[in-house]
Structure 1
Amino acid sequence: GKFYSHVIRSLKDIEPDLLVFYNYPKQIRASIYSTNMIESFNNVIKRKAKPKAEFPTEQSLDAFIGSQAMSYNDRYFNRIHKGFGQVQDTLESYFD
């Protein structure tokens, strides 16, 4: 208690946001708290930016990343991530 009281207080302050994924169905919890999709996208960006080595302006880098994000979204648009197909009706009811 007395050694880590500041840390414990901080965790209690953010607890509702920290564990919000428990409000969703069990089938999709792993997908929500996993960073696999983000890491995959980051690897795509790194692999495609490496040959370019340097961008002349920050705007050109922004445009490159934006075009890569749109391409990535188009490629996986119809993909249903693990568990989401099973609970689609439940998720839609959350947003009605």
Structure 2
Amino acid sequence: MNQFNKDITLNEVLRRQIEVTANQFLQNELTAVLGYKPHTRIDRSKDDVNYRNGTYTRTIDTEYGEINLTIPRDRLNKFQNALFPPYVRRTDG
């Protein structure tokens, strides 16, 4: 048996899955706000065109352990994620 597999607990598996799912949700949410998928060519000559503008990281404490989130940003600051409100560092669910 592989040494790495026996040390992983069910809690760690759930924590990792929550982390991956939450980060995918955040990317999909930004895509919905912008109206186009990543790596799509857009006309940036218009003033009201919004586009991706990097990411920042946040750590949220959950009942399964800390999850690291990569929160995407947009140029016009219209993206406000619905899953994790600003300044929240702990969640019960």
Greater share of helix residues, 1 or 2?
1
TM range (shorter): 0.3 to 0.5
Structure with the greater alpha carbon radius of gyration: 1
Q: Which has the higher strand share?
A: 2
Taking structure 1 as the reference length, the TM-score comes to 0.37
When normalised by structure 2's length, the TM-score is 0.38
Higher relative contact order (CA 8 A, sep 6+): 1
